[in-house]
Amino acid sequence: MKTYHVAIVGATGAVGTELLRLLEVREFPVASLRLLASERSAGRTLPFRGQSLVVERLDANAFENVDIAFFSAGASRSREFAPLAVRAGALVIDNSSAFRMDPAVPLVVPEINPEDICLHKGIIANPNCSTIIMLMALAPLRKLAPIHRVVVSTYQAASGAGAQAMAELIEQTGDVLREKPIVPRVFPYPIAFNLFCHNTKIDETGYNEEERKMIFESRKILHDPHLKVTATCVRVPVVRAHSESINVEFAPGTRPSLEEARKALETFPGVALVDNREANHFPMPIEASGRDEVLVGRLRYDLSNENAIDLFVSGDQILKGAALNAIQIAERWIKEGSKHA
């Protein structure tokens, strides 16, 4: 089996450490592994396959002889260093927002649009976590009938803001229970026992960046520029795994039956149907955390719209929402023969 020289940019962050774990547990064909991070993290060691690997400082010369570079260090780092990695001969799989809406860069969820991988010119973008989790539920339904409109509300965990945000939620929870004052550092407001509008910039339309990502990335991945999507994104006091309430409106007269929808979801790779009305058991972030699959359930007809179905989903933001999707892109690229456009 051919093996590959791999680099992880942002190796010490929440997604970077998950990438490292997944490379090991999925037995990715690694010939060598280079861990890259900021100067502040350089010198740390991380375990991989029984060894301790030293984290190196990210610089312009870090990608020599690298075949695949996973980037998860923010958009500014990606814009600066991804082109350098490509020029050095690496395939870049980028987890930031830097290239997602670039027409020349494929935006890929392997279960949904794997054919786009071969269109790359050195960079493949990993979609936003909330977009991935939503589309894993929509893609099988879209095979049953054309989707006309999507209304989604998200319940986004602290994990979406990184390891420090998760630690802040845990710390604040203890502070509240001990009746100590709360001093937010990562988030703009207290996250323990609270929820608030997603902490990204709001534009003149009133939508924040996370909501716009869900709208425009969905259209690009599904190759449907006219898909109607409206989103409301909210931070909630959950450590890990995002949840979403989704209303799916189909083209008039085409709404599938609930049984058809359940069967489509049950058989779709990467989805687990959790839809037990008798036990009132539906997707929960506590059960989605640590799982590769996106949990989908709470299927019911929209009583206010004869063309729509309601559902609820939960998915691990760090796994399928980020690191796992990136690894799956690389695995698919290898399977297709490492094709370059």
What is the pLDDT tens value at each position of the chain, 341 positions in all?
899 999 999 999 999 999 999 999 999 999 999 999 988 888 899 999 999 999 999 999 999 999 999 999 999 999 999 999 999 999 999 999 999 999 999 999 999 999 999 999 999 999 999 999 999 999 999 999 999 999 999 999 999 998 899 999 999 999 999 999 999 999 999 999 999 999 899 999 999 999 999 999 999 999 999 999 999 999 999 999 999 999 999 999 999 999 999 999 999 999 999 999 999 999 999 999 999 999 999 999 999 999 999 999 999 999 999 999 999 999 999 998 755 44
For residue 307, the SS3 value is coil
pLDDT on residue 175: 96
What CA–CA distance (Å, rounded) separates 132 from 14?
18
Alpha helices by DSSP H, 182-292: 209-222, 258-266, 285-288
Tallying the residues shown for the chain, one arrives at 341
Contact at 8 Å (CB) between 190 and 171?
A: no
Pairing verdict, β 242-250 and 308-315:
antiparallel
C-alpha triplet 67, 68, 72: angle, nearest 5°:
150
pLDDT on residue 338: 57
**Considering the entire predicted model, what is its pTM?**
0.95
Radius of gyration of the chain (CA): 20
Which residues are the active-site residues?
129, 242
> Any idea which residue has 């609820």 for tokens?
312
